[in-house]
Structure 1
Amino acid sequence: MMAGMAVASLALGGCAASAEEPAVQAEQPKAATVTADSGFSAFLAGIRTEALEKGLRPQTLDTALANVTHIDRVIELDRKQPEFTLSFNEYLGRIVTPSRVEEGRRKLAENKALLTEIERRYGVQPRFVVALWGIETNFGKNTGGMSVVSSLATLAYDGRRSKYFRTELMSALAILDQGHIAPANMIGSWAGAMGQCQFMPSTFLKFAVDWDGDGKRNIWTNRSDALASAANYLSQEGWKGDQTWGRAVRLPADFPRALLGADTRKSVREWAALGVKAADGKALPARELSASIVLAEGTKGPAFLVYDNFRTTMKWNRSTFFALAAGHLADRIGAK
């Protein structure tokens, strides 16, 4: 999940998540148990009043809030998020599968013209856009099945993180008021992440784009809008189109552990002088990029030399596992 989506949720692929190591696929309830009570009704009345004060149209709110329900299952999922027990290699094996790589290559070829134009405008290499698309929603096939407004209203009413989710609910209502999607079609994950790139509503308002110029930013069913929106997010968060994300490395036996972590930055040349080599034992590239050394599991696991684009991916989802897997998948998809 992304900056502006700072919620410890386990949305479809992670775009809405800030939990340290997200589950590969969050549970999507097949049937939602709903609860109606006077307190929730009063809460919705307060939401309507606040939205009107913000300038949203009464007719929008009448439609958007008419069938909102409290979904008990959303609270259950929020309370019982799975613990992260996978090792990095296990996680990577579930994310970067042969079938996902193969489909990613097909999607890269099928959308070559579109992705080339998106790269020209936003400076994000197509393989990275396709990789995030694949991880988040399996290339648009798994975008969630819950009412975003009902899910966000339930979480905002719950109280545990009510301020955050109330803001997201207001953003969702603003999206509806702008006419980008009909209320019945605003579907997403149980935590409110939406569309093929799994944007939270506030992130949608900031980064979603109308690529095809039809007046709607449709990240749900319009592939061009969704992919361009993902690229716009990365671009605005600092993506460098002339760089990659990083690479696996081999550390010398006497490598100072105090230098591990994203807070320590040195040039690739400086890391090489300290004995760091590529994972295959070859010398590091000669480019003068600012880089850090991270271990996949924090204090253990394989080592990686990571660049600024890795840091940008971490804004999309604040999980080291996710960012490393996204880079690996992009490399595999883009391999000749």
Structure 2
Amino acid sequence: MKKHLAASILALGSVLALPLSAQTAAEPHSSKKMTFEQYIEGLKQEAREKGFSEQLIASSFADVSYHKRAVKADRNQPEVVETLETYLPKRVPDWKVNKAKDMMKKYHKELTAVGKQYGVQPRFIVSLWALESNFGKITGNFDVISALSTMAYDGRREAFFKSQVFDALTILQQGHIQKADMKGSWAGAMGHNQFMPSSFLSFAADGDGDGKKDIWNNTADVFASIANYLSQVGWNNDITWARQVKLPQGFDNSLAIPQRTGGRKPWLQHWSRTEMSLSDWQKVGVRRYDGSDLPNVDMKAALVFPDGEQGRAYLAYDNYKSLMHWNTSYYFVTSVGHLADRIKFSR
């Protein structure tokens, strides 16, 4: 599961939230056979042992609810068979490209400053903003403490979600957001950039110097947090993300990273094993998508097949690894890069 669940499907609209007084309707915890109310008391006790104040604990869990719809969304995430030819037009429609260009112009000063500070091209900041939350329009309306507590109680990834509950308490303790305003997706991903609480604590940044990191309402903090994330995971401002390429007849596909590697660590191992200089890719017959020679520059790249060996092929540069750290989905990374390429800004 990705560190901050940036690609979680937002379960919006009306929410079936059961108050603690109605927990007899909630499913018992799969392993502990306890009610949700009992489980919350356990979380509160653990929070006390971790040093959180009684006042914070009381206010944070005062209206905690079991979100039946969140569990349903988690267990029934749709598996849709798509290709990039069908996926990209839906994820990066023309209206979103035009809106992104408008946002680049509207926030040109702020984005330029953040880009220089963190060494991240503004077009990638805007692209992630657009694809994570539609420029902050779709961020989720679940109470984050309730959503995370529900997912922990469900038990399938209890340790992960329990840790997120305590990270969320830390965010509240630090005063970045009020409990009533701490909203997110059914999985607890928060704000314009859909950070999980652990990612917030690691990467959120104060973009305007007001002492708070408000990724729910403050675009300065949103931009700085996205840029800080990419910067910390190795972004290189001097290069782009990838380029689509054409392969020769009879190409040796073992030179590419396998489509499925079983996680980020083995994926990175495959990257290290298969990356070559552009001159070496040129020697084995790889060309730009239009058939012309690859750039004559001293750079390394790895070859990826987001659609499998019969689909598109991309030479991926180091920034591709940074985007895969954000979300380990070839399709998500391709949509971010595709949009960033379409909105490249010049005054």
**TM-score, scaled to structure 2:** 0.89
How big is the shift at 1:48? Answer: 1.3
How many aligned residue pairs are there?
A: 320
* Alpha-carbon distance in 1 for matches of 2:11, 2:44: 30
How big is the shift at 1:212? Answer: 1.1
- Is 1:159 paired with 2:155? yes
**TM-score, scaled to structure 1:** 0.92
Residue in 1 that maps onto 2:303: 293
Decide which structure has the larger Cα Rg and report it: 2
How big is the shift at 1:132? Answer: 0.4
Residue in 1 that maps onto 2:74: 78
Residue in 2 that maps onto 1:238: 234
* Alpha-carbon distance in 2 for matches of 1:128, 1:286: 25
Structure-to-structure mapping, 1:101-250, within 5 angstroms: 101-250=97-246
How big is the shift at 1:31? Answer: 2.5
* Alpha-carbon distance in 2 for matches of 1:153, 1:50: 13
Matched residue SS, 2:160: helix
How big is the shift at 1:335? Answer: 5.7
How big is the shift at 1:29? Answer: 4.0
How big is the shift at 1:141? Answer: 0.8
8 Å Cα contact 1:188/1:195 also seen in 2? yes
Matched residue SS, 2:217: coil
Matched residue SS, 1:127: helix
* Alpha-carbon distance in 2 for matches of 1:116, 1:297: 34
* Alpha-carbon distance in 1 for matches of 2:216, 2:310: 39
Task: Return 5+ residue gaps in structure 1 as ranges.
Answer: 8-14, 18-24
Residue in 2 that maps onto 1:32: 16
How big is the shift at 1:27? Answer: 3.6
How big is the shift at 1:175? Answer: 0.6
Residue in 2 that maps onto 1:4: 3
* Alpha-carbon distance in 2 for matches of 1:335, 1:115: 11
* Alpha-carbon distance in 2 for matches of 1:132, 1:126: 10
* Alpha-carbon distance in 2 for matches of 1:32, 1:317: 29
* Alpha-carbon distance in 1 for matches of 2:46, 2:17: 27
Residue in 2 that maps onto 1:256: 252
AA aligned opposite 1:282: S
Matched residue SS, 2:194: coil
Matched residue SS, 1:90: helix
* Alpha-carbon distance in 1 for matches of 2:41, 2:67: 17
Matched residue SS, 2:343: helix
Aligned to 1:316, which of 301, 326, 330? 326
How big is the shift at 1:16? Answer: 4.4
AA aligned opposite 1:4: K
* Alpha-carbon distance in 1 for matches of 2:333, 2:139: 20
How big is the shift at 1:65? Answer: 0.3
8 Å Cα contact 1:16/1:199 also seen in 2? no
8 Å Cα contact 2:15/2:67 also seen in 1? no
Aligned alpha-carbon RMSD (Å): 1.5
How big is the shift at 1:321? Answer: 0.5
